[in-house]
A and B are shown apart, each in its own frame.
Chain A
Amino acid sequence: MALLALAVAYGVIFLIDLPLILKSTNKGRMVVVYIIIAAAGIIASVLQYFDFPLNPTIIINSIVKAIIPGVIFH
């Protein structure tokens, strides 16, 4: 149900933006960029919905810890 709501939300956003995309002089490129950003949002939503253990904060904390060993995260 939540995923359906997500799909509907992105569908509505796309419909709002569609007139502007069609007005753009480089429609093809605009659609590709739009789909990439929307896909990133959808993937992030799905990962968050299924409680995927790796999130950006954990990745950033791990990188910082790896580069600066003295840093301690609780």
Chain B
Amino acid sequence: MRLSVDAPTATPGSEVKISPVQLSFLLTGFLFGSSAILNPATAARQDAWLAFLLGWAGGVLLIGIYIAITRLNPGKTLVDILIACFGKILGTAFSLLYIWYFIHLAALIIRNFGEYMTTMNYPKTPLLFLAITLVSVSAYSVRKGLETTGRTSEIFIPFLPLSVIFLFFFVYREFNPANFLPVLENGLKPVVNTGLIIVTFPFGQSVVFLTLFANLSDRKKLTGSVIVSVLIVGIMLLAILARDIMALGPDILERALYAPDITSRLVTYLTIYPVISVSFLIGGGTRTAICIYGAATSIARIAKLDNYVPLVMPISALAVTLSIWVFETVLEMFEFAKEAWFYYSLPFQVIIPVLVLIISFIKRSPNTQKPKR
């Protein structure tokens, strides 16, 4: 397949193109992924919906920055952009940090998935086995190419909004709208703090898409595809939060490890909780695949390799090992997500991208403004 004309050089994997629809599905699966089960907004109790709205708005702004970076650097992947902005040494150093971040993110997703499955569905199955199972599927998909991952998402991701609608209507008998009250009982501070965490989880994590925005077949549709995804995911997560607040109340919502699972178990006349597990499996698999793809293509780019595929398996194995090593217990995992994640993610999701955006604006030259056709 022919490379795009304004691609700086042949980036490993850049010859593979995904359609705007596939990008939309991938981003929807990625953002929905773990958030369907672990939504940090629950810390704001009955004001979780307000905190989420705030985080959603911040997330749209942040993703807008990533789109602007891609538009100012057409055809370039994250590594190319970092090297173009910061020079070879600093750009490579930042790229290596991002590679670590993507592998670490994959490990955290795998651990989330494993902990959920062992806690709720398979209590006697070793965590390592579940981790290897998820990663095997994701790694296989990445090895087959981004197009395969995109096509897979076209089949599975539509299940996610359907599952949200399905569960919403099955649980409605348990709803108590009074659970939303009193509004802002503890003031604005917890709402704002939780909103900021939501900006970094899940929205800011889409920084990994800077490694695959260059693969979009029709660049003019980048903004549209991304906006559609962010809107759909925002509505879905808001619906999940509203459902859990109304069904469980703020006390259980704040204490529950996996609130959506508890909500689904309120339906006594039908076993619907596996729907939550299936959603998590689809979203978690998409997230893991994209993180592994981001890490593999970035390493291949830095090392000037012509193919990223052989790197997928060792990266996946490293992510599995890290997923077991990073946390002793599930509570430690939640503590990290609540306390450290925001500060840890800030440089990767906000500080470096904002610097890149500013430098890209300054360095903008006529030949990068208007790609040759």
B339 touches A73 (CB 8 A): yes
List, in ascending order, chain A residues with CB within 8 A of B321's CB: 41, 44-45, 48
What is the bound-complex CA distance between A32 and B158, given in angstroms? Answer: 41
| B355 lies within 8 A of chain A by Cβ | no
A20 touches B336 (CB 8 A): no
Chain B: interface size category: 20 to 34
| B228 lies within 8 A of chain A by Cβ | no
Residue of B nearest to A25 (CB): B306
Q: With A29-B303, A41-B314, A68-B343 given, is the CB distance from A74 to B335 under 8 Å? A: yes
What is the bound-complex CA distance between A47 and B299, given in angstroms? Answer: 24
Q: Report A6-60 residues with CB < 8 Å from chain B CB.
A: 9-10, 13, 16-17, 20-21, 23-26, 29-30, 32-34, 37-38, 40-41, 44-45, 47-48, 55-57, 60
What is the bound-complex CA distance between A73 and B340, given in angstroms? Answer: 8
What is the bound-complex CA distance between A10 and B340, given in angstroms? Answer: 32
Q: Is the interface of B mostly helix, strand, loop or mixed?
A: helix
What is the bound-complex CA distance between A40 and B320, given in angstroms? Answer: 12
Option from A24, A25, A48, A72 in Cβ contact (under 8 Å) with B324: A48
What is the bound-complex CA distance between A55 and B336, given in angstroms? Answer: 13
- Count: A-B pairs, CB below 8 Å: 92
B324 touches A71 (CB 8 A): no
| A1 lies within 8 A of chain B by Cβ | no
A64 touches B335 (CB 8 A): no
| B182 lies within 8 A of chain A by Cβ | no
Total A residues in contact with B, Cβ cutoff 8 Å: 36
Option from B104, B311, B340 in Cβ contact (under 8 Å) with A37: B311
Binds A, one of B167-175, B233-241, B271-279, B325-333: B325-333
Q: With A55-B325, A71-B340 given, is the CB distance from A38 to B303 under 8 Å? A: no
Option from A33, A41, A72 in Cβ contact (under 8 Å) with B299: A33
What is the bound-complex CA distance between A44 and B322, given in angstroms? Answer: 7
Q: Report B266-315 residues with CB < 8 Å from chain A CB.
A: 299-300, 303-307, 309-311, 313-315
Q: With A24-B310, A30-B310 given, is the CB distance from A57 to B305 under 8 Å? A: no
| A67 lies within 8 A of chain B by Cβ | yes
What is the bound-complex CA distance between A45 and B314, given in angstroms? Answer: 13
Residue of B nearest to A55 (CB): B325
Q: With A60-B344, A64-B344 given, is the CB distance from A37 to B339 under 8 Å? A: no
Residue from the set B307, B313, B322, B326 with the largest chain A CB neighbour count within 10 Å: B313
Q: With A20-B310, A26-B305, A37-B318 given, is the CB distance from A55 to B326 under 8 Å? A: yes
A34 touches B311 (CB 8 A): yes
Q: Supply 16 A–B pairs (Cβ within 8 Å), ascending by A.
A: A10-B314, A20-B307, A24-B307, A25-B306, A29-B303, A30-B305, A33-B305, A37-B315, A41-B318, A55-B326, A57-B336, A60-B340, A60-B344, A61-B336, A72-B339, A73-B340
Binding site for A on B (CB under 8 A): 104, 299-300, 303-307, 309-311, 313-315, 317-318, 321-322, 324-327, 332, 335-336, 339-340, 343-344
